[in-house]
């Protein structure tokens, strides 16, 4: 039986995912990460913990590194910290979390608590969650970055109704990352946010790349199209992810999962000629699905 540190026999093999550059530094990260919403909201002594060790092992062994969490996600920060400590692989992970409260002092206290839960003296990316009290927290985070408590600073939202505010923040403030929703069915970000991120030299994390589940449910009623094998897709999740990743201004997609098999499946989408795959997917979508 595999131990938590040797899980290769329990999971499908996958090639290492493509990487993309963080514009503000030139650091390269894998283009598939792991969101921890729901899937990591478990207790360390529960039966759900061991599968999460396999999720993280699969992610890191496959060339991914980004793990995205938030105080909003229940026990996800604590579980992420516990998993990485159990595996002894904190240094391989790119830990992203968020501040989600109002007020300078309250924000600082919450971020310090996040470091404790994540069992790390610093995070790789601290983001202002859903732009809550964004000016206050970005001011604090400028100092945190100087002090080495976070390597990067970002802002997030999950809804297209906030795109105008995200645009304002990107034009006004200096951030390293922006996170927002983008999928084959919801392409509003292509109009202004993705071009602006490129213009401003901001890395892009995509949440909800599978359309929040509704898009995946819709397409899953059909057989995979004939061209899927040609672009390296064996599942609908891979096809939907390849479309998102085929946009050159997307740095990393972070579909959430607590399932090791799904993590391996997601990673498989991050390999190959993604631009060509995107073109074929878009042609099929416009012809057969609209």
Cβ proximity of 205 and 66 under 8 Å: yes
On whether residue 77 sits in a domain, the answer given is: yes
On whether residue 281 sits in a domain, the answer given is: no
On whether residue 219 sits in a domain, the answer given is: no
On whether residue 241 sits in a domain, the answer given is: no
On whether residue 112 sits in a domain, the answer given is: yes
Residue 173: give its domain's CATH number.
Answer: 3.20.20.100
On whether residue 205 sits in a domain, the answer given is: yes
Q: pTM to 2 decimals?
A: 0.93
On whether residue 48 sits in a domain, the answer given is: yes
Residue 285: closest CA among 193, 212, 186, 163 = 186
**pLDDT given for residue 212 in this prediction:** 82
Q: What domain range includes position 105?
A: 30-211+250-271
Per-residue pLDDT of the chain (290 residues; tens, 9 = 90+): 233 333 333 344 456 999 999 999 999 999 999 999 999 999 999 999 999 999 999 999 999 999 999 999 999 999 999 999 999 999 999 999 999 999 999 999 999 999 999 999 999 999 999 999 999 999 999 999 999 999 999 999 999 999 999 999 999 999 999 999 999 999 999 999 999 999 999 999 999 999 988 898 999 999 999 999 999 999 999 999 999 999 999 999 999 999 999 999 999 999 999 999 999 999 999 998 87
Total domains present in the chain: 1
On whether residue 109 sits in a domain, the answer given is: yes
């Amino acid at each position: 039986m595999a131990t938590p540190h040797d899980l290769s026999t329990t999971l499908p093999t996958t090639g290492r995912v493509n990487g993309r550059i963080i514009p503000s530094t030139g650091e390269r990260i894998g283009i598939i990460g792991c969101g921890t919403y729901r899937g990591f909201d478990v207790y360390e002594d529960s039966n759900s913990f061991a599968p999460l060790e396999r999720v993280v092992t699969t992610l890191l062994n496959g060339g991914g590194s980004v793990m995205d969490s938030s105080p909003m996600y229940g026990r996800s920060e604590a579980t992420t910290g516990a998993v990485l400590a159990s595996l002894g692989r904190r240094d391989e992970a790119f830990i992203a979390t968020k501040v989600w409260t109002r007020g300078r002092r309250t924000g600082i206290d919450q971020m310090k608590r996040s470091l404790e839960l994540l069992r790390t003296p610093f995070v790789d990316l601290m983001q202002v969650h859903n732009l809550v009290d964004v000016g206050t927290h970005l001011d604090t985070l400028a100092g945190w970055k100087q002090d080495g408590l976070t390597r990067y600073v970002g802002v997030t939202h999950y809804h297209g109704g906030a795109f105008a505010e995200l645009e304002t923040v990107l034009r006004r403030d200096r951030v390293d990352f922006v996170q927002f929703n983008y999928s084959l069915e919801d392409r509003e970000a292509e109009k202004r946010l993705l071009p602006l991120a490129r213009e401003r030299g901001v890395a892009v994390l995509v949440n909800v790349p599978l359309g929040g589940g509704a898009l995946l449910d819709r397409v899953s009623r059909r057989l995979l199209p004939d061209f899927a094998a040609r672009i390296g897709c064996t599942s609908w999740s891979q096809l939907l992810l390849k479309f998102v990743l085929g946009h050159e201004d997307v740095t990393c997609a972070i579909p959430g999962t607590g399932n090791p098999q799904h993590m391996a499946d997601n990673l498989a989408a991050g390999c190959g000629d993604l631009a060509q795959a995107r073109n074929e997917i878009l042609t099929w979508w416009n012809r057969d699905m609209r």
